[in-house]
């Protein structure tokens, strides 16, 4: 796993490796958005169109349940409220992506109107690599 990324705290029972990370650019944008919107969360649903991008919401605005998996918790700290940013994925999507490590990155372009970065002219996206299974 790349050391230049911010790796999420492990949340899945029985695992001791991070499944999701943020690029420095994504972490910087998230800190900026956090200052404007308060605590944030991600949800990755799968699906088509905007559903294939990670959606960033104010924490609690997207209701999660038994059909979702908490893949990781990010500590963005640096003067922000001491609440982790949660990264959720639909359980069905996790079944397809369970063999991959996900990195949230940010690029220029218009994202979904529902994701908080949309007015910034930026959008979050997922870069995936096959997991390097711990021995």
Unique residue bearing structure tokens 């899945």:
12
Contact 50, 114 (CB under 8 A): yes
Whether the pLDDT of residue 92 is over 70: the answer is yes
What percent of the chain is predicted at pLDDT more than 90? 70
pLDDT of residue 45: 81
Residues contacting residue 15 through CB under 8 Å, at least 6 positions apart: none
Tell me which DSSP letter residue 4 carries. Answer: T
pLDDT of residue 89: 95
pTM attached to this predicted model: 0.88
Delimit the domains of the chain by residue range: 18-130
**pLDDT class of 77 with cuts at 50, 70, 90:** confident
What number does CATH give the domain 18-130?
A: 2.60.300
């Amino acid at each position: 796993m790349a050391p230049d990324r911010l790796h999420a705290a492990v949340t899945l029972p029985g695992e001791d490796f991070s499944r999701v990370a943020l690029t420095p650019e994504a972490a910087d944008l998230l800190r900026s958005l956090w200052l404007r919107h308060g605590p944030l969360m991600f949800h990755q649903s799968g699906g088509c169109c905007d559903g294939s991008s990670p959606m960033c919401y104010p924490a609690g605005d997207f209701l999660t349940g038994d059909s979702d998996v908490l893949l990781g918790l990010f500590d963005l700290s640096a003067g922000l409220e001491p609440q982790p940013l949660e990264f959720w994925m639909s359980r069905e999507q996790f079944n397809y992506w369970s063999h991959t490590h996900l990195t949230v990155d940010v690029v220029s372009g218009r994202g979904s109107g529902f994701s908080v970065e949309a007015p910034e002219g930026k959008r979050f996206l997922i870069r995936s690599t096959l997991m390097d299974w711990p021995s």
